[in-house]
Structure 1
Amino acid sequence: MLTVNDLTFSYGRQRVLKNISFQIRKGELCALFGPNGTGKTTLFKCCLKFLVPDSGTVRINGKDIRGLPPRQMARLVAYVPQAHHCAFPFTVSQMVLMGRTPHLNRFFTPGAKDRKLADQAMQTLGISHLSDTAYNRLSGGQQQMVLIARAIAQQTGLIFLDEPAAALDFKNQINLWQTLQTIAEQGTAILACTHDPNHVSWFCHSTVVLDRSGLLAKGSPGQVMTQEMMDRIYGDACRVWNINGLKIMVPGTMDTGTTNIVAFPGNRKGIHHK
């Protein structure tokens, strides 16, 4: 669904991305991982045609995005940014229904199918009870769930998520990542930027790791999220433990000999990697 080949981008004289190449297949939940300032959001913007790269190509479903008009792009890929500010008091259901815009007729009138898909997306995220609430009165975490529901309602084969769980409490973080797994299993490719190595390890099929030198690693979390990789990214800030077959990243100061560990809260449905 997504092929990035030798992508390079600079802000003036400052090189941000250099020769970045990777692929994401249909039905794959891929994490974009790395420290702050390594170009993750810039990579998103290049893939979405918000920025024009210095060189390299991006293909979505085999099509070079340079030849795609905005409406066709919107039918191929959905995007959820880190933050979204809305000055108008649209209701949650109206916001989610906006995800159907690329598929509407020339009069931009939503039909029964569009409303049904919007309702299903709200149900998937567990926010149906907020449908009549003004979006700009919600908490940051609730707004994020609405934007993700809007992306689901858009019914694209590829979704970009920029730190989707950043504003959510722990329970909703887990619920969200499990929902993303389910969406991927239904055939959607997802590229999700995250700063939490545990989310990468617990939930994702693959990961692309960036550092200031460029593409540091790509592959399955089991192969990539190692102690050596964490040391290279964060120095001695964290340790990689294997608890009952589950890989967990903990602060580097924690002592395994004096700590009781519960491997994972709740059920472990959908945790693929060890």
Structure 2
Amino acid sequence: MLKVNNLTFSYGRHRVFKNISFQIRKGELCALFGPNGTGKTTLFKCCLKFLVPESGTVRINGKDIHRLKPKQMARLVAYVPQAHHCAFPFTVSQMVLMGRTPHLNRFFTPETKDRELADQAMQTLGISHLSGMAFNQLSGGQQQMVLIARAITQQTELIFLDEPAAALDFKNQINLWQTLQAIAKQGTAILACTHDPNHVSWFCDSTVVLDKSGLFAKGSPGQVMTQEMMDHIYGDACRVKDIDGLKIMVPGQVDTRRTNIVAFPENRKGIYHK
């Protein structure tokens, strides 16, 4: 569904990455993983035609993206950015329905089917109760769920998600990743950028790992998310543990001692740890 071949990109004299190659199959949930500054978001933008690489090719469903018109791209791939700033007070249902734009007639008039798909996406993500609220009055986590619902409504064969769980609480993070698994099993290919190694290990079918030099590893999480790889990426920051058959990344060294306890003034209750 997605094939990236020898992709190279630079900002001026600064080389971001060189000769990146990987592919994602239909129905595959793939994580793009690596530390800050390795070009993950830039790679997304190259794959979406937002940026033009120095060299290399990107094909979606066998088609060179640079030969596709914007409407053709929008019918093939959906994109959820890290953040979205909306100046107008569109309701949640209106925002989600916008996902149908590439499929509307020339008068951009939604039909019953379009509204049903939007309603289904909101139900899938458990945000139907927000449908009448203004998008720009929601919390960051709620806005992120709305944007993901919009991407689902777009009904594309490929979805790019840039840190989709970053603004979500723990329960919604788990719910979201389980939803992404279910969407992938229905045949949609998903590339999700994440900084949480546990999400990669627990939910993804494959992973592409970038480091400062470019592509460091690719393959199944069981093969890639090893202690050796984590040491290479983060030094001694974490340890890879096996707990009841589940691979979990835990902090390597944590000082649990609480020092410098300071009392609040008499008119306030409690203490805090400095």
Task: Give the match's secondary structure for 1:156.
Answer: coil
| Deviations, residues 155-204 of structure 1 (Å, cap 9, x unaligned) | 00000000000000000000000000000000000000000000000000
Deviation at 1:111, TM superposition (A): 0.4
Which of structure 1's runs of 4+ aligned residues deviate more than 2 A?
none
Asked if 1:74 corresponds to 2:74, the answer is yes
Which residue identity is paired with 1:144?
Q
Asked if 1:119 corresponds to 2:125, the answer is no
Cα distance in 2 for partners of 1:62, 1:181 equals 24
Task: Give the match's secondary structure for 1:89.
Answer: coil
Task: Give the match's secondary structure for 2:19.
Answer: strand
Partner of 1:35: 35
Partner of 1:261: none
Deviation at 1:254, TM superposition (A): 6.0
Between 1:163-172 and 1:246-255, the stretch displaced more is: 246-255
Which residue identity is paired with 1:228?
E
- Equivalent residues in 2 for 1:82-101 (5 A)? 82-101=82-101
Higher-Rg structure is 2
Partner of 1:244: 244
Cα distance in 2 for partners of 1:212, 1:46 equals 18
Q: Percent identity?
A: 89
Which residue identity is paired with 2:222?
G
Deviation at 1:239, TM superposition (A): 0.2
Partner of 2:12: 12
Deviation at 1:244, TM superposition (A): 1.1
Cα distance in 1 for partners of 2:218, 2:38 equals 15
- Equivalent residues in 2 for 1:150-169 (5 A)? 150-169=150-169
Partner of 1:22: 22
| Deviations, residues 21-73 of structure 1 (Å, cap 9, x unaligned) | 00000000000000000000000000000000000000000000010000000
Which residue identity is paired with 1:219?
G
TM-score under structure 1 normalisation? 0.92
Cα distance in 2 for partners of 1:227, 1:212 equals 18
Cα distance in 2 for partners of 1:87, 1:124 equals 26
Which residue identity is paired with 2:28?
E
Which residue identity is paired with 1:20?
I
TM-score under structure 2 normalisation? 0.92
- Equivalent residues in 2 for 1:219-230 (5 A)? 219-230=219-230
